[in-house]
Structure 1
């Protein structure tokens, strides 16, 4: 299903195809009411019968979630036999694209991306939503370098501690209990998938690199024989091992990941003021490098930065959080109210 561009869908003008998958086509879209770009995710209605659960799951999940590190849903409608979702546009690709630029993330980069991903997934689980397809390709990077958890097409809302029985995610990220074809806890399966994601982030390679054939890959996953370079930071390596425990009952929980030594530490450049400041945690990697040019200080240090430097950092911090924009701001159409920022 390809559209002749430019193509008008309601108030949205589709200008460029971004990609397509088995279920949908994705286009860059402009809206005459706002000076920002959107993404239009489109499914043809006559094809809807077999895959409507994918869009229903994504719409249901995104209308229940409001978090700075989760992709936003702004609108849904039907026109010209097309089912349309209007989503937040992330111009910098996905986390895999960022990883390819450096081969493997250093400690600061790993913590910067990892902590925000953990915050997003912890928030999902607090809403009883399991993502079920965590991987680098489903973590998008917005215009300010912030990771955004996306693609909730096979997500699942869990009630009353029920177990899941189906799975359609990527094999390399699949938890061993799923391969046993038994009912499983999708939240603990998310932890496993995130562990594989972290392993790739830290090493730049798939931890199952020795398993070429599908049956070899499945065997490696089920017995937990993965490869982790000795050059990986010891704290990160320890966390990954706890996440890739083949016994889901022994696997580390999300709240413990969030409070692990890896993510509890104060990142370089965040001690410019008194201790750890949540606002500075929102800075991108380039923003942290920018903040490092100012001298460190404490209340007991007579060498303090000039007032204009403090003012400049404050302005930079505020702009990061506000998105560097003076354009008309909009709230997701299907979201009832704002929630506090999770950092």
Structure 2
């Protein structure tokens, strides 16, 4: 990127639950296993689009709604050590997803003999990692990888989504470019995904987790080396530090604090290496962004100074970020129009959320069902495998899975005036998938993407 001494963004480290839902840049990705859930009558497998340590993600066509969806597939048996984080991930996205356009929404949970599948909104534009990497490939030495206006456009969406999570006492704890997806609009809306490390909080947390390059000093070294109790940290401030890393990587194409020497995986020594840089150097002194640093404006440098404060008690907060002069600078016309459209669509979602009437008993029953299904998924299925036809020949006619509808429609009060409102239609409107007068979907970005796949055209082109 502009001649900087850094590793490619495509080598960004993966956490245990990391899963990028977007398609790869060339529209294809090899998968060592045959298409999963091939017997579903409601969904047709299209292709594998992501791989992670805990789960793989496949692109499916939801034949009922005539749209593409991403399905995160946890192969059975899910390790017991991942049981609680999987329950938490599904529950958090179910609760928060419907309320904010910049969060990936979830629709359904499917339990088969081989997999637990989380059916989600599909972001066809790829990850922010790929977007920045594309800019990196054409960047001029001494110039920014992404100009400040575009970075501000994405950063505003990102901060508003994180603020929404924090206001609902939820922290993501693995915010990064790989977990920030883009939809198919031009310019695209940002969508935060992968809540595998997310947690509700009342005050402070103690778990040591995340992606090292995005972890704040207090999180990197929150474990006593003598085996004592872990130190507590404010998860909101941890998310703020990660936001700073995202911003500077978007602008400069490199992490401000990175490995100075080779390590065998993410060991304690590797984390110590990062921590020593964070506490002994300012971000401006980083050799990884040396080539791009002078191209940054004074205003964004001031914000970065406030984001990368070692003492979490003195670090800028999300509400303070939203008041910062750089954050509030005018956008260029194209980005401003897109932002106004986003604000308008978010207002529609806000109105729905304010007026909906949830049945507490139904919500509790749904959450119990999520826990029960994940519990079953932690056991091995009964089948010994079945014959799977080639992907192009899948018919998907025999549906014998256990299914749980995660949309609001199933947990609204019976007397609610919105009881007949399928919440997925609200998400459809927010994503530009408006229904026509005939009641059928117009050809949407989702369908255009599928047509592109069938013609061999890379998505997003």
TM-score normalised to structure 2 length: 0.58
The residue aligned with 1:264 is: 328
CA distance in 2, matches of 1:232, 1:201: 12
Which residue of 1 is the match for residue 256 of structure 2? 207
Question: Aligned-residue CA RMSD in angstroms?
Answer: 2.7
Please show how residues 134-213 of structure 1 align to structure 2 within 5 Å. Answer: 134-144=175-185, 145-159=188-202, 161=203, 163-181=204-222, 182-209=231-258, 211-213=260-262
User: 8 Å contact 2:153–2:339 — kept in the other structure?
Assistant: no
The 3 A distance-change label for structure 1 pair 322 and 142 is closer
SS of 1:134's equivalent in the other structure is: coil
Deviation at residue 321 of structure 1 after TM alignment = 5.7
Match of 2:67 among 8, 16, 36: 36
Deviation at 1:250, TM superposition (A): 0.3
Aligned to 2:24: none
Q: Relative to structure 1, is the Cα distance of residues 133 and 177 closer, same or farther in structure 2, using a 3 angstrom cutoff?
A: same
Match of 1:290 in 2: none
Given candidates 35, 46, 49, the residue that maps to 1:5 is 35
Contact 2:71 2:120 in 1 (8 A): yes
- Which runs of 5 or more structure 2 residues have no equivalent in the other structure? 1-30, 137-144, 223-230, 263-269, 346-427, 443-461
Q: Which runs of 5+ in 1 are unaligned?
A: 284-318, 330-343
Q: Does 1:131 align with 2:172?
A: yes
SS class of match (2:233): coil
Alignment: residue pair count? 290
Matched, 1:98 2:141: no
Counterpart of 1:217 in structure 2 is 274
From 304, 308, 323, give the equivalent of 2:432: 323
Task: Measure the CA separation in 2 of the matches of 1:22 and 1:38.
Answer: 21
Q: 1:176 to 1:10 in 2, by over 3 A?
A: farther
Residues 270 and 263 of structure 1: CA distance in aligned 2, closer, same or farther (over 3 Å): farther
Change (3 A) 1:208 1:30: same
Between 1 and 2, higher relative CO (CA 8 Å, sep ≥ 6) is seen in 2
> Which residue does 1:74 correspond to in 2?
107
For 1:237, the equivalent position in structure 2 comes to 301
- Counterpart CA distance in 2 for 1:85 and 1:271 is 32
Aligned CA distance change for structure 1 residues 209 and 78 (closer, same or farther; 3 Å): closer
SS of residue matched to 2:39:
strand
* In structure 2, distance between residues paired with 1:118 and 1:149: 11
Tell me, in whole angstroms, the C-alpha distance in 2 between the residues paired with 1:219 and 1:277.
39
Query: 1:338 corresponds to which residue?
Result: none
Among 279, 282, 293, the alignment partner of 2:341 is 279
User: 2:55: which partner in 1?
Assistant: 24
TM-aligned CA deviation for residue 58 of structure 1 = 1.2
> TM-score scaled by structure 1?
0.77
